[in-house]
């Protein structure tokens, strides 16, 4: 029999966090084929019943098989008149994952079982949040907070520090804010992460809440800044003079016929070396820049732009107003 030697289409990190009345967990909504974002808008969270969500990282096909196994287990419990509890499901999946690993045919998943455990049936006051983790090798444990995948190396300590500030008194909005910030960081560190997230909540009062999508812009950008340059020089320099520093040219190779050869950062200024193609001098060029918002006041305007000729010592200054129009 051919075993799965390497997962094909995979999901990346899962982050979960307990709060005073339940559990919040977040996953992105992409399944990757290698490093390619193969399938978008795919949920990596599965609602088992009104008390449990199972989220996964790893092979998507293996988790689809697991969903059928979990569904059969739910029906088995209903036959004896009981609802499957988070602890019971965590124990069952632990045994299953360990058995598959022992037979050298593992399921290529890391599973997060998030739910609310009813200590006394139908008594919401005694319900306690539950997070259980099962790895591919069948190692299982319970925790108050967890990050899997590459986020386990990047974010576990940061999430723990935030949770310890309030501990069991952490509220749901505060827990959601922590996870939003954590998954924002995965965008910048994990090449397989996506900026489209899904937020899942298991609350003692409201039960399971799924399907809330959160989209984080990859770049917070200010208004487009345009600069018109009239020159007959074979080459010239452009200084972007602003405190934000992170001015980027929209097209680093060709900007309206201009070849952007080099870019330097000099004393909080971006210096672009512009070279005019042969035979195309004496032309009015339009340079376009967009400045990312990085300061605490949200200022994203270019203060002034210096167009330099042959020597940086001889320069003319072209100022832009707040709409990016040359004054």
Positions marked catalytic: 4
Predicted pLDDT of residue 75 = 94
299, 290 in Cβ contact below 8 A? no
Tell me the per-residue pLDDT of 138-176, one tens digit each, with 9 for 90 and over.
999 999 999 998 888 888 888 888 888 888 889 999 999
222-261: burial string, b at 16+ Cβ within 10 Å, e else: beebebebebebeebbbbbbbebeebebeeeeebeebebe
| Vertex 129: Cα angle to 212 and 62 (nearest 5) | 60
| Vertex 193: Cα angle to 60 and 189 (nearest 5) | 140
Predicted pLDDT of residue 18 = 93
* 73: helix, strand or coil: helix
Which residues of the chain register pLDDT less than 70? 1-3, 120-125, 215-327
Residue 97: Cβ within 10 Å count: 23
Q: What's the chain's Rg over C-alpha atoms?
A: 27
Q: Which CATH code for domain 9-215?
A: 3.60.20.10
Q: What is the pTM of this model?
A: 0.66
Domain residues of the chain, as ranges?
Answer: 9-215, 221-319
Predicted pLDDT of residue 72 = 94
């Amino acid at each position: 029999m051919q075993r799965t030697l390497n997962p094909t289409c995979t999901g990346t990190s899962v982050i979960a966090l307990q709060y005073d009345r339940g559990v919040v967990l977040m996953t992105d909504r992409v399944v990757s084929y290698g490093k390619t974002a193969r399938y978008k808008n795919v949920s990596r969270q599965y609602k088992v019943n009104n008390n449990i969500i199972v989220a996964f990282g790893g092979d998507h096909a293996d988790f689809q098989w697991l969903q059928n196994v979990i569904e059969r287990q739910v029906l088995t419990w209903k036959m004896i008149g009981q609802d499957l509890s988070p602890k019971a499901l965590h124990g069952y999946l632990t045994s299953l994952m360990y058995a598959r690993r022992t037979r050298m045919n593992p399921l290529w998943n890391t599973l997060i079982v998030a739910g609310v455990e009813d200590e006394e049936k139908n008594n919401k006051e005694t319900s306690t949040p539950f997070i259980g983790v099962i790895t591919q090798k069948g190692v299982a444990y319970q925790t108050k907070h967890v990050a899997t995948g590459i986020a386990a190396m990047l974010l576990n300590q940061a999430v723990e520090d935030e949770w310890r500030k309030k501990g069991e008194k952490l509220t749901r909005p505060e827990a959601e804010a922590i996870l939003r910030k954590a998954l924002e960081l995965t965008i910048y560190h994990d090449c397989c992460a996506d900026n489209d997230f899904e937020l899942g909540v298991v609350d003692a009062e409201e039960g399971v809440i799924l399907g809330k999508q959160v989209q984080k812009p990859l770049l917070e950008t200010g208004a487009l800044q345009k600069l018109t340059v009239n020159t007959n020089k074979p080459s010239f320099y452009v200084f972007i003079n602003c405190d934000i520093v992170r001015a980027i040219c929209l097209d680093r190779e060709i900007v309206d016929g201009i070849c952007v050869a080099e870019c330097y950062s000099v004393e909080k200024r971006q210096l672009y070396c512009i070279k005019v193609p042969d035979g195309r001098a004496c032309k009015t060029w339009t340079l376009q820049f967009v400045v990312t918002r990085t300061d605490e006041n949200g200022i994203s305007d270019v203060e002034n732009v210096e167009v330099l000729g042959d020597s940086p010592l001889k320069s003319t200054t072209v100022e832009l107003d707040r709409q990016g129009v040359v004054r």
